[in-house]
Amino acid sequence: MYYNARKTAGLTQERWAELLGLSVEAVSQYERGVILPTDEVVLRMAEAAGQQIVCYWHLLNKSRVAGRVLPEIEKRPLSEAVLRLLVQVEDFQRSGLEDLKRIAADGKISGADESIAYEDALEQIRLLIEAAYELQYAGKE
C-alpha cells in the first residue's frame, strides 16, 4: 500500500523520501512491510499522493481492532463506487429493511426464520457500509 501511494504520486524512492522527510531506507522498509510508518508519516503520504485511502489501509494493518470492525475495501473509480452503493441501498430497501422492521416489532429475534433474516440483514448492512467507504475513497474521474 505504501508502495502504491508512492507510485500514484509518480515519484522515485529518493524523491518520496525527501518529500516526506525520511531516509530512503525507511521508505524501502515501509514498502517491503518490514516496519510500519507512524501515523504522521502516513498522513504526509496520503497528502502527497492525494490518496486518503492510504490512511484507511494503514489503520487496517496497524490495528487488530480496526481489522475486525472496518471492512476491507477496494479503490474504485467514482462511477463504479456510486453504482455499487446504489445497488446495496436498493438491496437493503427491498429485503433487509422489511425484515428488520418485522423482527423489531416484538423486540426480539424469534425462531430460526427471524434469526436467519436478521443475519441476512446484517450482511446487507455490512455490504452497504463497505460500499459507502469505497465511495468515500473513490478515485475522482
> Is 139 in contact with 76 (CB distance < 8 Å)?
yes
Average pLDDT, the chain: 92
**Domain-embedded: residue 141:** no
Q: Which of 48, 69, 90 is the last residue of a domain?
A: 69
> What's the rounded Cα separation, in Å, for the pair 31 and 120?
38
**Model pLDDT for residues 37-66, shown as the tens digit of each residue:** 999 999 999 999 888 899 999 999 899 999
Q: Which residue segment(s) compose the domain that 54 sits in? A: 2-69
**Domain-embedded: residue 107:** yes
pLDDT score, position 67: 86
Using CB atoms within 10 Å of the CB of residue 85, give its burial: 0 to 12 exposed, 13 to 18 middle, 19+ buried: buried
pLDDT score, position 28: 96
Identity of the amino acid at 58: H
**Residue whose C-alpha cell is 512491510:** 33
**Model pLDDT for residues 52-105, shown as the tens digit of each residue:** 899 999 999 899 999 889 998 988 999 999 999 999 999 999 988 988 998 999
Secondary structure of 61-100 in HEC code, one letter for each residue? HHCHHHHHHCCCCCCCEHHHHHHHHHHHHHHHHHHHHHHH
The band of 140, judged by pLDDT with boundaries at 50, 70 and 90, is: low
